Amino acid sequence: MDDPGIQSLRRSPFSGVGDISSVFSQLDSIASVPMSATEDIGIAPEILSLIRNGLYNADFRTPPPDPTLELDDITNKLPGWSYVKTGTSVTVKWVDDTAGGNVTFSVAAGVATGNQAYIEQIIPISQIGSLRLVKVTTAKLSDGAGLNERWCETQFLDADGVATGASHTEYSTTTVYDGRIVSTANGETGAPVDAFGLRVRVGVTDNRTTADTFVFQHVFVEDRIGPTGGVAEAQFTASGDIDLSDTAVINPTFPQMLFIHDLNGANRTVRGIISTGMPNGRIFWLYNGDSTYNLVLSHEDLAAGAASYRIRCPNSANLTIRPFGGVQLVYFGKSDDTVRRWRVMSEV
């Protein structure tokens, strides 16, 4: 009789399955593997979430033992997460939804100073590599009075569990886009050399005068310089987005691309790009979205500030980015840091 595991594999989308080796040989040709298929080969939903999102049970698909009761760390633990609560005005439950589940925070009417609740998970650095940015996909179901209720905190820990580097707490009212709260542990400096794990907390603090409900639907770790780093917008005016001046020194803190969509009626010059905390090999795209005027990259401009902020252009000459054109720059240099620059690698 065949092994029961092989029978499960034969019910999966993989054809002619004889053993696990034949499964892996077919993976590259399958655009999307259904969740059931990964479970058929022994990958539990919580582990699959760890692989895809960097956190165990990141999408809350696996519920606590009794979803009708409030979470706790003894009899009703949310798999993969610890639960911490101060006071009684905030209660937290797992709630079923179309995505598989969410964690719902309910705040009682009236402000209870110091009352809060949060879920927490610690990820080994070996699991996340150089990833530094945590994004939390959330939904707030109703609007009440007050500020800074829903938040995400990230903190690196050393091998003894002691905090290392600067923690970062981001609140929903100060940085929200696409329903996300973004927290970056230790800022642009990244993981300290003694970092052993990354602690992620998402929670709610009671600052409400009326009752309210907050929902966390998904938590994931994301590389701040990866393809999902996003696009930021800038213009040479003072009316919004990132404001740039004629002596612009650009700060590419989070985005992988900066889209400059308005040069405000004149050719403009970029004299430098801030490199504080940048790893050797950081890639950055710059795009001129103005339909009429040129964006000029100034070669080795002393006005850039620090020498490492300067841009090194081909032929040691200023580079003009014409309307609807862009360039790719890479920050790199010798290992002794003496000649690191932003270097133009390609232009379109």
d(CA 91, CA 71) in angstroms, rounded, equals: 8
Reading the chain (348 residues) residue by residue, the pLDDT tens digits are: 444 444 444 444 444 444 445 545 545 554 444 545 445 555 677 777 777 777 888 888 899 999 999 999 999 999 999 999 999 999 999 999 876 788 999 988 887 888 999 999 998 875 444 444 455 555 554 444 445 688 889 898 888 999 988 888 888 764 444 466 777 787 656 677 788 888 999 999 888 778 888 888 888 776 443 333 457 777 876 444 456 766 688 876 556 788 888 888 889 888 888 887 677 777 888 999 999 999 999 999 998 888 888 999 999 999 999 999 999 998 888 766 668 899 999 876
For 146, other C-beta atoms within 10 Å of its C-beta total 16
All residues at 6 or more sequence positions from 157 whose CB lies less than 8 Å from its CB, including other chains = 122, 163, 164, 195, 196, 197, 198, 199
Looking at the DSSP bridge assignments, the partners of residue 197 are: 124, 157
Q: 86: helix, coil or strand?
A: strand
d(CA 140, CA 115) in angstroms, rounded, equals: 19
287 and 320 Cβ atoms separated by less than 8 Å: no
d(CA 61, CA 50) in angstroms, rounded, equals: 12
129 and 51 Cβ atoms separated by less than 8 Å: no
So what's the pLDDT on residue 239?
A: 47
The fold for domain 227-347 equals Jelly Rolls (2.60.120)
Q: Provide the token pair at 250.
A: 């650009």
The fold for domain 82-222 equals Jelly Rolls (2.60.120)
d(CA 194, CA 159) in angstroms, rounded, equals: 8
319 and 327 Cβ atoms separated by less than 8 Å: yes
So what's the pLDDT on residue 82?
A: 94
All residues at 6 or more sequence positions from 336 whose CB lies less than 8 Å from its CB, including other chains = none
pTM across the whole model: 0.55
d(CA 325, CA 289) in angstroms, rounded, equals: 7
d(CA 150, CA 98) in angstroms, rounded, equals: 22
Distances (CA, A) of 306 to 186, 303, 323: 22, 9, 29
d(CA 22, CA 189) in angstroms, rounded, equals: 43
For 230, other C-beta atoms within 10 Å of its C-beta total 16
CATH 2.60.120.200 domain locations along the chain: 82-222
Looking at the DSSP bridge assignments, the partners of residue 343 are: 312, 330
d(CA 312, CA 325) in angstroms, rounded, equals: 18
Q: What is the DSSP string of 142-169?
A: ---S-S--EEEEEEEE-TTS-EEEEEEE
Q: Provide the token pair at 32.
A: 């999307």
So what's the pLDDT on residue 207?
A: 81
Among 201, 218, 214, CA closest to 104: 214
So what's the pLDDT on residue 323?
A: 94
